[in-house]
Amino acid sequence: MQKEEHVHGPGCGHDHGHNHTVIRSGPKIGRNDPCPCQSGKKYKKCCAK
C-alpha cells in the first residue's frame, strides 16, 4: 500500500513551520533609495537585481 501524497492548500490544517517573523537589523531599503554599496545608483538598478 502506497502512502497518499499530501496536497497543500488553504485548508491544509497542520503546521509546516512557515509561521515565523523575520526581524530586520536595520531600516528597510526602498527600491528608489540610493544603494547601500555606495555605487551612486538606485538600489533597484544595482544590488536588487
* Cα 9 from Cα 16, distance rounded (Å): 11
Question: For residue 16, how far is the Cα from the chain centroid?
Answer: 17
Question: Residue 34: beta bridge partners?
Answer: 42
5: burial class by Cβ within 10 Å (0-12, 13-18, 19+)? exposed
For residue 32 the three cell numbers come to: 528608489
Q: Express each pLDDT in 22-47 by its tens digit.
A: 888 989 999 999 999 999 999 999 99
Is the pLDDT confidence value at 4 over 70? Answer: no
